[in-house]
Amino acid sequence: MKPLRVALLGCGVVGTEVVRLLNEQSDDLAARVGVPLELAGVAVRRPDRVRAGVDRELLTTDAQALVTRDDVDIVIEVIGGIEPARTLMLEAMKSGKSVVSANKALLAEDGATLFAAAREYGADLYYEASVAGAIPLLRPLRESLVGDHVQRVLGIVNGTTNYILDQMDAHGAGFSEALEEAQALGYAEADPTADVEGFDAAAKAAILAQLAFHTPVTAADVHREGITEVSPADVAGAKEMDCVVKLLAICERVPEEGGRNGRGVSVRVYPAMIPRSHPLASVREAYNAVFVEAESAGSLMFYGAGAGGAPTASAILGDLVAVARNLRGGTPGPVEVTYAKLPVLPMGETVTRYYIQLDVADRSGVLATVAEEFARHGVSIQAVRQVGLGEDAQLVVVTHRAPDAALTSTVEGLRNLDIVREVASVMRVEGED
């Protein structure tokens, strides 16, 4: 039986693991696909670097030549970033290869170009590894829930920030201190920007929203706030509310009177409080978990390790077997359909709730003045509580659900009130309906 031949682009932590699994599991993979899978070549930038278990004969610096070689059937891309990954994947599909990728940044920025190429050349493009490591999430959304009507995806999809927030919650650490610890343990990179500013989570949110709502969504459409501004006061305030602060990726339909699809979708990433009784609250350390709410299926949760060489390689190998089977069958799998084309609504139109902590003057009539400011913006208050006395008095206000624009202008208005010394903490509240 003629083997299917695989080209690997990139051989870092994930790539090395892919090579190891291809070698160690070759008998099992052959039985599952129906023909053997063979490594045809590995494109790297530095061929002299030692990579345990990787045959040096297979290394090449000419990725361009590798992806168009006649003896290559499937290309696995684990270089990451936009270029040259995009050009190489397009070239590969153009020459009839199937592609498996773990590249969330590229898929979220320019998935449309890649899907168009897949459609044009009848090639497979699978990318389960791009979101939440080995947790099966894209395939369930793409296939298991394809006959259902997804209402919301709510998840923790970045392990680095979850580790940092978990440390802040568990030990009262400040952001910088927790970040340093995460870096020391290898959970955060030397330049942590992509994680702590929410870029990584936003790319994943775009990919999830596109699949969930059959609507084109790019990373640029995603409202994004990172965790660098999360203070010990925010975390302590959450604790008093019996909540915990998590960086959430939220994709949801914005309801419409009488309409079923909603008048648009909201896709956003920000730190928010969720009740400790919510299943996402107990996701500790660098783990990931994603809630999916669908009309018929109800609430589903998917949980596991969201990153790391071996879990990411597991997702890649799953996709590899799938595209290999499709090649044997002679028919590619389904290409993403974004027929619904719902608008991605601006953050101001998204409906959410705020927790606001105010340092206020010790004066009579303070509560009335504050309440009036909320009313002026049409925001209704769910609960208010005064903490401390006299000069140390604080007001904690939790709102009902309101458009984010009204909530932010309320906060702006509060800042301008004489009796408000400081807006000490503002945090959205999610996970309760």
Find the shortest distance in angstroms from Cβ 340 to its own copies.
Answer: 8
Which residue, 84 or 304, has its beta carbon nearer to its own copies? 304
Residues 203 and 104: beta-carbon distance below 8 Å: yes
Find the shortest distance in angstroms from Cβ 297 to its own copies.
Answer: 3
Can you tell me the distance from the alpha carbon of 214 to that of 370, in angstroms, rounded to the nearest whole number? 43
Find the shortest distance in angstroms from Cβ 298 to its own copies.
Answer: 4
Question: Of 97, 104, 204, 246, which one is the catalytic site residue?
Answer: 204
The secondary structure of 132-190 as a DSSP string is STTS--HHIIIIITTTS-EEEEEEE--HHHHHHHHHHHHH---HHHHHHHHHHTTSS-S
Which residue, 29 or 88, has its beta carbon nearer to its own copies? 29
Catalytic site includes residue 104: no
Which residue, 76 or 267, has its beta carbon nearer to its own copies? 76
The three-class DSSP label of residue 20 is helix
Find the shortest distance in angstroms from Cβ 368 to its own copies.
Answer: 43
Strands 287-294 and 298-305: antiparallel
Which residue(s) pair with 255 in the sheet? none
Can you tell me the distance from the alpha carbon of 383 to that of 367, in angstroms, rounded to the nearest whole number? 12
φ and ψ at 293, to 5 degrees? Answer: -110, 120
Which residue, 253 or 377, has its beta carbon nearer to its own copies? 253
Can you tell me the distance from the alpha carbon of 271 to that of 227, in angstroms, rounded to the nearest whole number? 6
Can you tell me the distance from the alpha carbon of 91 to that of 99, in angstroms, rounded to the nearest whole number? 10
Token output for 128: 């389960």
Interaction site with its own copies (CB under 8 A): 17, 21, 25, 28-29, 31-32, 128, 133-136, 139-140, 143-149, 214, 279, 282, 294-305, 308, 310-311, 313-322, 325-326, 329-332, 334, 337, 339-340
Find the shortest distance in angstroms from Cβ 388 to its own copies.
Answer: 36
Which residue, 36 or 232, has its beta carbon nearer to its own copies? 36
Find the Cα–Cα–Cα–Cα dihedral 107, 113, 118, 120, rounded to 10°. 170
Residues 247 and 198: beta-carbon distance below 8 Å: yes
Which residue, 326 or 408, has its beta carbon nearer to its own copies? 326
Nearest to 390 by CA among 348, 359, 411: 359
Find the shortest distance in angstroms from Cβ 313 to its own copies.
Answer: 6
Which residue, 193 or 299, has its beta carbon nearer to its own copies? 299
Can you tell me the distance from the alpha carbon of 377 to that of 425, in angstroms, rounded to the nearest whole number? 19
Cα 267 vs. chain centroid, distance in angstroms? 11
Find the shortest distance in angstroms from Cβ 310 to its own copies.
Answer: 4
Residues 366 and 372: beta-carbon distance below 8 Å: no
Cα 303 vs. chain centroid, distance in angstroms? 13
The three-class DSSP label of residue 406 is helix
- The residues carrying an active-site annotation are 204
